[in-house]
């Protein structure tokens, strides 16, 4: 895994990937950031421009199976995406600040484009609009939502099985409970129809944006 940029995003991304067992190399022009990456994060760090062919070759771009481009501006990110595509990197993820760069990123070969503005705005809107939801993820350009909800005491679904809930006409059609965590200290599991929801547990639900309020009202409604 190769990361272009050792700013806050690049360093935190590197740390998360290391924790997940990935071998990570990072490229940045800042010698202090590179030293921090080596000493504190424990990754290989190459000092120099992330759009320098010489530096990228030294960092192993020819062997990288994926690359994350999180440089300081979109023009540099676009240049690095172009070089990654040229050297055959099979999975390219790019951070984007200005939406005008979306089409150029796609033309250059980026497989995933993460808009920092859209991500921040969506997170804030969700926190305001759905304060009950612990977290929410968007898929297929917002056509599908996955939300994480806590099951409070005496709510509508406590003591009921996943199958019963799915058959309830008030449960949004097309929605599905795909994850269940009985207690905060326990692992998330994939429920089956006989899984009974307990108070204090947490569920993951996949649904459509138009059904969010219906799902939240149903799950948290008092018995």
> How far is it, in rounded angstroms, from Cα 67 to Cα 81?
9
CB half-sphere exposure, 169, CA atoms < 13 A = 0
> How far is it, in rounded angstroms, from Cα 134 to Cα 157?
17
Instruction: Name the residue among 97, 101, 137, 131 with its Cα closest to residue 117.
Output: 97
Segment 131-174, tens digit of pLDDT: 777 777 766 566 788 888 888 887 888 999 999 999 998 888 88
- Structure confidence at residue 153 (pLDDT): 82
Characterize the bridge pairing of strands 144-150 and 133-139: antiparallel
The domains located in the chain, with CATH, are 2-117 (3.40.50.720), 127-220 (3.30.70.1450)
**Six-digit token string for 158:** 């406590």
> How far is it, in rounded angstroms, from Cα 108 to Cα 166?
44
The H or E element that residue 122 is part of is helix 116-129
How many of the other CB atoms lie within 10 Å of CB of 22?
13
Which residue stretches of the chain have pLDDT < 50? 223
């Amino acid at each position: 895994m190769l990361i272009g940029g050792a700013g806050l995003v690049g360093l935190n991304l590197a740390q998360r990937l290391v924790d997940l067992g990935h071998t990570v190399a990072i490229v940045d022009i800042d010698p202090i950031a590179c030293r921090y990456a080596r000493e504190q994060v424990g990754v290989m760090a190459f000092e120099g421009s992330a759009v320098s062919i010489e530096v990228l070759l030294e960092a192993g771009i020819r062997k990288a199976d994926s690359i994350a481009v999180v440089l300081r501006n979109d023009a540099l990110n676009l240049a690095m995406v172009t070089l990654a595509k040229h050297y055959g990197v099979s999975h390219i993820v790019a951070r984007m600040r200005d939406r005008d760069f979306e089409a150029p990123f796609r033309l250059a070969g980026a497989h995933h484009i993460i808009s920092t503005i859209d991500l921040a705005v969506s997170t804030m809107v969700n926190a305001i609009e759905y304060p009950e939801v612990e977290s929410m993820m968007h898929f297929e350009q917002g056509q599908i939502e996955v939300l994480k909800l806590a099951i409070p005491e005496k709510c509508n679904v406590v003591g009921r099985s996943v199958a019963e809930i799915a058959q309830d006409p008030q449960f949004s059609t097309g929605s599905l409970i795909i994850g269940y965590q009985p207690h905060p200290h326990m692992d998330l599991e994939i429920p089956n129809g006989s899984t009974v929801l307990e108070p204090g547990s947490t569920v993951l639900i996949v649904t459509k944006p138009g059904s969010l309020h219906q799902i939240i009202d149903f799950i948290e409604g008092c018995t």
